[in-house]
Amino acid sequence: MTIDLNFFNKFFIDYQQRFVHFACTYVHDEAVAEDFVIESMMYYWENKDRLPADTNIPAYVLTTIKHKCIDHLRHQQIRQDVSDEISQIYAWELSGRIVTLEDFEPYEVFTAEIQEIVDKTLDSLPEQTRRIFRMSRYENKSHKEIAALLEMTTKGVEFHISKSTKELRLALKDYLPVSLLFFYLN
C-alpha cells in the first residue's frame, strides 16, 4: 500500500501540470481543468485494482480527462445553443415590438376615443340641444340658419350650443388641453 501511495504521489506531481495544461487548452478555465485532473486521478486510484497490470497509467488518466472535457464542452454547446435560441426569440419579439410601436399612431387612438366620448356626451343631452349642436358643428350651419330652420331666436341657438360645449368640455377635460377643446368645440 505504501509503495502504491508513493507511486501515486510521484505520478501526481509529475503529470498534474501537464494534464491541467492539456485540459485547459480545451475548456479554457484553469479551475475546471484542475478539477478534471484531480477527479480523473482519483478515478484511477479508486479503480487501479481492476485495471490490467500493463495499463499505461498516464494514457488512462489522460483518456478520463479527455472524456470529462468532451462532456463539459458538449454541455457548454447545449447551453450556447439554448442561449442562441432564446436570443433569437428575444430579437424576434423585440423586433415585433419595435414594428408595432412604429406603426402605432396615438392620434388615431385618441381621435376614436374622443369621438366616442363626444358621441356619448351628445347622446346624453336633450334632443333639441343635441340637434342644434350637430347642425352647427357637423353640418356647418350658422346660428342664424339654425334659428330660421327651428323657428327660434339666435340667442336660443347660442344657449343650446353653449350648453353642449360646456358638457363636452367637462367630458373631455382629461383628453385635450383647454386650448384644443376651445378649437375643437368652437
**pLDDT for 88:** 93
Confidence of residue 84 (pLDDT cuts 50, 70, 90): very high
Amino acid at 66: K
**pLDDT for 126:** 94
Residue 116: pLDDT above 90? no
Mean pLDDT of 2-6: 75
Which secondary structure element, helix H or strand E, spans residue 114, and what is its range?
Answer: helix 106-124
Mean pLDDT of 86-101: 87
**pLDDT for 2:** 59
Which residues, 6+ apart, have CB-to-CB distance to 57 below 8 Å?
Answer: 11, 44
**pLDDT for 8:** 87
**pLDDT for 186:** 45
* Between 27 and 111, residue with greater pLDDT: 27
Q: Report the alpha-carbon distance of residue 76 to residue 83 in Å, rounded.
A: 10
**pLDDT digit string (tens) for 145-172?**
999 999 999 999 999 988 988 888 888 7
Query: Using an 8 Å Cβ cutoff, are 140 and 126 in contact?
Result: no
Query: Using an 8 Å Cβ cutoff, are 23 and 70 in contact?
Result: no
Residue 183: pLDDT above 50? no
**pLDDT for 182:** 45
